[in-house]
Amino acid sequence: MILFSKMQGTGNDFVVINCLNQYFNYNLGNFANFLCNRNFGVGADGVIYLFKSNVADFKMRIFNSDGSEAEMCGNGIRVLGKFLYEKSITTKTYLKIETGAGIKEINLIVENKTVVNVKVNMGMPHFEAGRIPVYLPKEESGKEYHTILIDFEEKEYHFDLISMGNPHAVCFVEDVNAVDVEKIGAFVEHYKYFPNRTNVEFVQVMDRNNLRVKVWERGVGKTISCGTGACASSVCAIKKKLVNSTVTVQLDGGRLHIHYDEETGVELAGGAEFCFEGRIDL
């Protein structure tokens, strides 16, 4: 029997499994693929497994709905912070979490013993081709900030390339509602330039303080929210001087708040919620 919690952050939903005190001897990717199935499983964008860590307070491993492991998940780590505090696994409101993209620091904003907001220090974005990673045409290989052109159905799309611990391709458009996110996103995710595939964001600048973003998430598909996607979109917009250094990102599932400083990195803030608890008899 496996106990789990179903949680969501701006509609990005996860199954959270505490592996600290229950024996777990299953293939993590295959089990995540089963759990995330919305017809025959619990249904989720991904599964978060909580483990002990030798270098931080806790360790998080995150698997996408297709069973692939992601290096990092901004909404997932916020959800985990709420889980840790409200399940009384910790009394700390400042935590270090080991992830596949390094150790991330989170601050829990607590009111009446309830976590109402979670702030995550996402670290520094990376633009180097090898850090994203991306294979580049020769004319792009020497640049500091990379933009590639991808042709899809006789139309050109310009993508800014960035890593937030995982790869992202960010496309600025006039109207995100006019973009066929599923068709273009699936094509770009598997494009020949990305050895590990990529997340894909379509971004509309609303004003100096607000972005509208739609996301095609690697290993998941079209999703209504993505924390690292919101960060990637914001950093690219800030680098292009299209918005201020603090921005609100409106995703289909809700709002996230991003601040980027070239010295201290990216801060992601937003809420998280429990949906329900359950158990799986295997």
pTM, two decimal places: 0.93
Residue 146 and residue 242 in one domain: yes
Catalytic residue among 36, 226, 231, 236: 226
Can you tell me the distance from the alpha carbon of 26 to that of 19, in angstroms, rounded to the nearest whole number?
Answer: 11
Which pLDDT belongs to residue 112?
A: 95
Per the domain annotation, does 132 fall within a domain? no
Q: Are residues 258 and 274 in the same domain?
A: no
- Do 162 and 116 have their domain in common? no
- Secondary structure of 213-231 in the HEC alphabet? EEEEECCCEEECCCHHHHH
List 73, 171, 231, 236, catalytic entry: 73
What percentage of the chain exceeds 90 in pLDDT? Answer: 92
Domain residues for 168? 138-269
Give tens-digit pLDDT for 26-85.
899 999 999 999 999 999 999 999 999 999 999 999 999 999 999 999 999 999 999 999
Distance, in Å, from the CA atom of 253 to the CA atom of 255, rounded to the nearest integer, reads 7
Average pLDDT over residues 209-219: 98
**The CATH number of the domain where 244 resides is what?**
3.10.310.10
Q: Are residues 170 and 237 in the same domain?
A: yes
91 with 156, same domain: the answer is no
184 lies in the same domain as 251: yes
As for how many domains the chain has, the answer is 2
Q: Quick one: average pLDDT of 266-279?
A: 97
Active site residue 73: yes
181 and 92 in one domain?
no
Is position 171 annotated as part of the catalytic site? no
Inside any domain, residue 68 = yes
Q: How confident is the model at residue 139 (pLDDT cuts 50, 70, 90)?
A: low
Residue at 261 is within a domain = yes
